[in-house]
């Protein structure tokens, strides 16, 4: 098979011919049709994830099952599937036994088996999710990281009917978070420094786009505050600053990989009894919900499509923040 391989950090990825994978017990082989790219791929490129080189990256893969390993019972050859970042736990810890394998300390991921920037990808059966009929591979790929992360962040905030959600940052995650919050019936506003993105947020379903050029928390407070803030930015300073815009009992959920988060606004935390949560991929039901909303036309990712051969050029675009709003690599 042909695959893009990270051989050295901060160096172009190399296309190599590798042996075709063979499905082991409980595993399948997926012929990849598309694989999304996000900033986590940049972090792999820079050495911020604990990967062993050389490695095939790619954690938003979708394609067709072409081989079943011994013991596979829920998938069939020809199934259209996507593969989650976390594919299985060890099975015997308290978290796995409680049906929460994402919390397992010994999870199996693409970093163990190899990722989706390849013709073929091995995956655990438990890490594969069926794609709804009619949903394109390129759109579905976005669900397996950006969509999954955004919905898990929203669900981790425990939204209640009538609450107001503020999305901080309208990028790959943020443009999905806006649509998902609006799709489940929550009033949704966006904080951005760009008037163009404020207008675009309304096209995505936001009731208001708030343009800020100073204190984000003060701007949000002036606009009525929010019960939930979904922070999708990679700026720790922005996350800390927006905290003051929470209403009483509000929840800030941060989903971007930031530097150290220093909270100086203890008055909001104490006297408004607010909370801060981190969130990434959580329950598989969050992913299935995203795929369903996408299949029903309630949520549509904005995708830039590229051939797999242009992967290094796309990596540069993602690193520079030039993609609007999600890049997907496709096989010819």
* pLDDT tens track for 194-252: 899 899 999 999 999 999 988 999 999 999 999 999 999 888 899 999 999 999 999 99
Q: Contact at 8 Å (CB) between 327 and 42?
A: no
pLDDT tops 80 at residue 167: yes
The Cα–Cα gap between 45 and 312 comes to: 11
pLDDT band at 149 (very low <50, low <70, confident <90, very high): very high
Q: What is the pLDDT of residue 327?
A: 98
Burial of 134 (0-12, 13-18, 19+ CB in 10 A): exposed
With a pLDDT cut of 70, the percent of the chain lying above it is 100
Q: What is the pLDDT of residue 73?
A: 97
pLDDT tens per residue across span 262-313 = 888 888 999 999 999 999 999 999 999 999 999 999 999 999 999 999 999 9
The Cα–Cα gap between 215 and 270 comes to: 20
Structure pTM? Answer: 0.95
pLDDT tens per residue across span 28-53 = 999 999 999 999 999 999 999 889 99
Tokens (6 digits) for 111: 């970093």
Instruction: Give Rg (Cα) of the chain.
Output: 20
pLDDT band at 259 (very low <50, low <70, confident <90, very high): confident
Q: Contact at 8 Å (CB) between 249 and 164?
A: no
Residue ranges of alpha helices (H) inside the chain are: 39-46, 94-97, 110-113, 137-142, 148-156, 174-183, 195-204, 216-222, 236-242, 266-271, 284-295, 311-319
Q: What is the pLDDT of residue 121?
A: 98
């Amino acid at each position: 098979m042909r695959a893009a391989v990270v051989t050295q950090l901060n160096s172009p990825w190399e296309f190599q011919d590798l042996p075709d994978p063979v499905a082991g017990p409980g595993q399948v082989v997926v012929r990849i049709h598309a694989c999304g790219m996000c900033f986590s791929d940049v972090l792999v490129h820079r050495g911020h994830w604990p990967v062993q080189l050389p490695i095939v990256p790619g954690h938003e893969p979708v394609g067709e099952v072409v081989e079943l390993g011994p013991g596979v019972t829920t998938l069939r050859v020809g199934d259209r599937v996507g593969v989650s970042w976390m594919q299985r736990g060890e099975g015997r810890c308290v978290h796995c036994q409680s049906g929460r394998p994402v919390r397992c300390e010994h999870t199996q991921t693409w970093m163990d088996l190899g990722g989706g920037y390849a013709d073929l990808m091995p995956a655990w059966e438990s890490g594969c999710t069926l794609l709804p009929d009619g949903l394109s591979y390129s759109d579905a790929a976005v669900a397996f990281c950006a969509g999954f992360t955004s919905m898990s962040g929203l669900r981790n905030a425990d939204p209640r009917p009538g609450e107001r959600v503020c999305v901080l940052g309208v990028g790959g995650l943020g443009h999905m978070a806006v649509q998902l919050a609006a799709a489940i019936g929550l009033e949704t506003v966006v904080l951005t420094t760009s008037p163009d993105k404020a207008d675009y947020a309304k096209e995505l379903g936001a009731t208001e786009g708030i343009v800020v050029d100073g204190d984000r928390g003060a701007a949000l407070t002036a606009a009525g505050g929010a019960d939930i803030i979904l922070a999708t930015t990679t700026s720790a300073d922005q996350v800390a600053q927006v905290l003051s815009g929470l209403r009483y009992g509000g929840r800030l959920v941060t989903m971007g990989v930031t530097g150290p988060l220093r909270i100086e606004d203890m008055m909001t935390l104490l006297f408004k009894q607010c909370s801060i949560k981190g969130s990434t991929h959580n329950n598989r039901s969050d992913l299935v919900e995203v795929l369903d909303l996408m299949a029903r036309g309630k949520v549509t990712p904005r995708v830039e499509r590229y051939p797999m051969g242009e992967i290094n050029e796309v990596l540069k675009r993602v690193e520079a923040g030039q993609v609007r709003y999600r890049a997907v690599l496709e096989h010819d």
